[in-house]
């Protein structure tokens, strides 16, 4: 009896899929079961009967026939021929003391920015633009009506150097709004039919992030990084399958279309069930560093300023650190982005490069700051980890010299914390570790305080 109940629950969890057209039972209607657990919908079965009308069945004595009105019953239908039914999911609970945004109770832009401020240092303009764009997008989704006025999507294009926080901003935003997020790299995308991922594969990732819930995925966020890598190649005689063709293929996704995507896989094949996703309410955010774009902007501004003044104004913009803020659609077109693609990304904004002061703040200020993470790790061993101000400044200085933004911080700290995290579990008497500026500058060692006497001793620094 228990086994029958288990089988019944399993059958209720999945719905049949037509072996021919790949439609689930909820769309194709009642299925007919055939041997080997294969299911076929009425439409496909009717087409099969129509194609066989007039065939001399009596002339085929070796053909096995059975009564279709009483098909055999199979309980062990393979799950690859079934699609998991939708079921209501419990809302994910937030951590204690942390407010979770509900898409049905959309917060105002200043509230969204205030929450972003808790996790993201600097980039005030970018956070303000994103907060307004996201608010308008989901307000459009929640009040979508078929009246005469149709509000267009607020897809975004983020321009900023590597390590300035483009991906982190999007991740934080999706986590606060509790919507599924798919992140993909534009360098892996190619035109359909060529080696690589086609543009529709990003929707498969979004569907997976939404636990195969189509309705939830259709309100998610897709972030396409390194978008500048699919710029149209200049003076190329061969077919640009990873540049302009990818931009062309993304147009229907950005604007809104019904797209068939595989369930539980990124590639389409006959053995994978398909489902349809409408991208009309999916928010697309593209980001890229756009190297050499600053030169394009400088050339344009120099031509405008040099009329009548010649060489005196040619070097006016050479030292402008915020030159990217003056970017225009024409600059992006000259870079290699096609007009149709740019037209579907109406919200364009820039992010600033990370300065030494900003990197120092990234280490300590956010809720999940890097130094707080290491302090929590050592607290699990009942050890108090501290960083003096000089050490924080030295780490930020080394990261700024690498010119990779905030990405360099973790690697630098990991290098200096390796020996400390290796030695601490050996000695239960260690109570406090203080990272000093001399240790970061390879001129000394961290200060270790023992539990019993409170006397400080130096941990021998490993030199290579």
- Cβ neighbours for 124, distance < 8 A, ≥ 6 positions apart: none
- Whether residue 255 is found in the same domain as residue 385: no
- Whether residue 333 is found in the same domain as residue 195: yes
At residue 392, the pLDDT reads 93
Domain count, the chain: 3
- Whether residue 129 is found in the same domain as residue 78: no
Cα–Cα dist 417/386, whole Å: 12
Cα–Cα dist 164/118, whole Å: 16
- Whether residue 346 is found in the same domain as residue 417: no
Query: What's the Cα-to-Cα distance from 158 to each of 129, 181, 287, 327, 414, rounded to whole Å?
Result: 10, 17, 4, 12, 29
At residue 182, the pLDDT reads 92
At residue 267, the pLDDT reads 59
At residue 77, the pLDDT reads 47
Structural contact between residues 99 and 118, judged by C-beta atoms closer than 8 angstroms: no
In a domain, 116, yes or no: yes
**Helices first, then strands: H and E counts in the chain:** 17, 15
Q: Helix (H, G, I), strand (E, B), or coil: what is residue 285?
A: strand
Structural contact between residues 187 and 429, judged by C-beta atoms closer than 8 angstroms: no
In a domain, 463, yes or no: no
The rounded Cα 290 to chain-centroid distance in angstroms is 19
* Domain finish residue from 350, 365, 387: 350
Q: List the pLDDT tens digit at each of the 464 positions of the chain.
A: 445 445 444 456 778 888 887 788 887 788 888 877 788 888 888 777 766 655 555 455 555 554 544 555 544 444 444 555 555 445 445 444 444 445 567 888 999 999 998 888 888 999 999 999 999 898 888 776 556 677 888 899 999 888 888 899 999 999 988 899 999 988 887 766 555 577 888 888 899 898 888 888 998 999 999 998 888 876 665 555 567 888 888 888 898 888 888 876 555 555 667 788 899 999 999 999 898 888 888 888 877 655 555 455 556 666 666 788 888 899 999 988 889 999 999 999 999 888 899 999 999 888 889 999 999 999 998 899 999 999 999 999 999 988 888 888 999 999 999 989 998 888 888 889 999 999 999 988 899 888 765 445 555 444 34
Cα–Cα dist 132/386, whole Å: 38
- Whether residue 166 is found in the same domain as residue 289: yes
Structural contact between residues 358 and 399, judged by C-beta atoms closer than 8 angstroms: no
Structural contact between residues 327 and 295, judged by C-beta atoms closer than 8 angstroms: no
Query: What's the Cα-to-Cα distance from 235 to each of 23, 240, 251, rounded to whole Å?
Result: 45, 11, 23
Structural domain span for residue 30: 2-84
In a domain, 92, yes or no: no
In a domain, 91, yes or no: no
Please spell the DSSP secondary structure of 150-214, one letter per residue: -PPP--EEEE--TTSSHHHHHHHHHHHHT--EEEEEGGGB--TTSSSB-TTHHHHHHHHHTTT-H
- Whether residue 145 is found in the same domain as residue 200: yes
Cα–Cα dist 455/158, whole Å: 52
Long-range Cβ pairs for the range 85-93 (8 Å, 24+): 85/12, 85/13, 85/14, 85/15, 85/26, 86/213, 86/214, 86/215, 87/13, 89/211, 89/213, 91/178, 92/178
Structural contact between residues 164 and 190, judged by C-beta atoms closer than 8 angstroms: no
Residue 404, strand partner residues: none
- Whether residue 63 is found in the same domain as residue 145: no
Structural contact between residues 43 and 85, judged by C-beta atoms closer than 8 angstroms: no
At residue 462, the pLDDT reads 44
- Whether residue 32 is found in the same domain as residue 77: yes
* Domain finish residue from 308, 332, 350: 350
In a domain, 216, yes or no: yes
Query: What's the Cα-to-Cα distance from 227 to each of 101, 187, 235, 386, rounded to whole Å?
Result: 29, 8, 20, 40
Structural contact between residues 347 and 155, judged by C-beta atoms closer than 8 angstroms: yes
CATH code for position 438 = 1.10.8.60
In a domain, 143, yes or no: yes
- Whether residue 373 is found in the same domain as residue 342: no
Q: Helix (H, G, I), strand (E, B), or coil: what is residue 110?
A: helix
In a domain, 435, yes or no: yes
């Amino acid at each position: 009896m228990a086994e029958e109940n288990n089988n019944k629950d399993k059958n209720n969890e999945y719905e049949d899929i037509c072996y021919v057209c790949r439609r689930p039972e909820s769309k194709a209607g009642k299925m007919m079961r055939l041997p080997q657990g294969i299911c076929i919908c009425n439409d496909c079965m009717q087409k099969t009967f129509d194609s066989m009308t007039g065939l001399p069945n009596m002339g085929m004595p070796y053909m096995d026939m059975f009564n279709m009105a009483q098909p055999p019953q199979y309980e062990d239908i393979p799950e690859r021929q079934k699609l998991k039914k939708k079921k209501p999911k419990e809302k994910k609970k937030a951590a204690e003391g942390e407010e979770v945004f509900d898409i049905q109770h959309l917060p105002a832009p200043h509230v969204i920015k205030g929450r972003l401020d808790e996790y993201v240092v600097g980039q005030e303009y970018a956070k303000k633009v994103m907060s307004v764009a996201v608010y308008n997008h989901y307000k459009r989704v929640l009040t979508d009506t078929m009246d005469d006025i149709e509000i267009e999507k607020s897809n975004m294009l983020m321009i900023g150097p590597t390590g300035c926080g483009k991906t982190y901003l999007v991740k934080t935003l999706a986590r606060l709004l509790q919507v599924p997020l798919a992140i993909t790299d534009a360098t892996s995308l190619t035109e359909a039919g060529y080696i690589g991922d086609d543009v529709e594969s990003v929707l498969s990732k979004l569907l997976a992030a939404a636990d195969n819930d189509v309705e939830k995925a259709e309100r998610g966020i897709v972030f396409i990084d390194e978008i500048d890598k699919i710029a149209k190649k200049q003076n190329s005689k061969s077919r640009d399958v990873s540049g302009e063709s990818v931009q062309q293929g993304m147009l229907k996704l950005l604007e809104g279309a019904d797209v068939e995507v595989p369930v539980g896989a990124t590639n389409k094949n006959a053995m994978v069930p398909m489902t349809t996703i409408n991208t009309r309410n999916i928010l697309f955010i593209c980001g890229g560093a756009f190297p050499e774009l600053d030169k394009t902007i400088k050339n344009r501004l120099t031509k405008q300023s040099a009329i009548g003044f010649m060489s005196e104004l040619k070097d006016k913009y050479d030292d402008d650190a915020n030159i990217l803020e003056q970017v225009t659609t024409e600059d992006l077109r000259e870079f290699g982005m096609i007009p149709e693609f740019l037209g579907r990304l109406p919200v364009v904004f820039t992010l600033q490069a990370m300065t030494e002061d900003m990197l120092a703040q990234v280490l300590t200020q956010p809720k999940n700051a890097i130094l707080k993470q290491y302090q929590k790790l050592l607290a699990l061993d009942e050890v108090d980890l501290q960083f003096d101000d000089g050490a924080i400044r030295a780490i930020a200085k080394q990261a700024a010299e690498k010119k990779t933004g905030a990405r360099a911080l973790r690697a630098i700290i990991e290098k200096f914390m390796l020996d400390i995290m290796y030695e601490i579990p050996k000695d239960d008497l260690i109570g406090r570790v203080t990272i000093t500026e001399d240790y970061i500058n390879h001129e000394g060692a961290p200060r270790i305080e023992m539990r019993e006497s409170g006397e400080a001793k130096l941990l021998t620094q490993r030199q290579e």
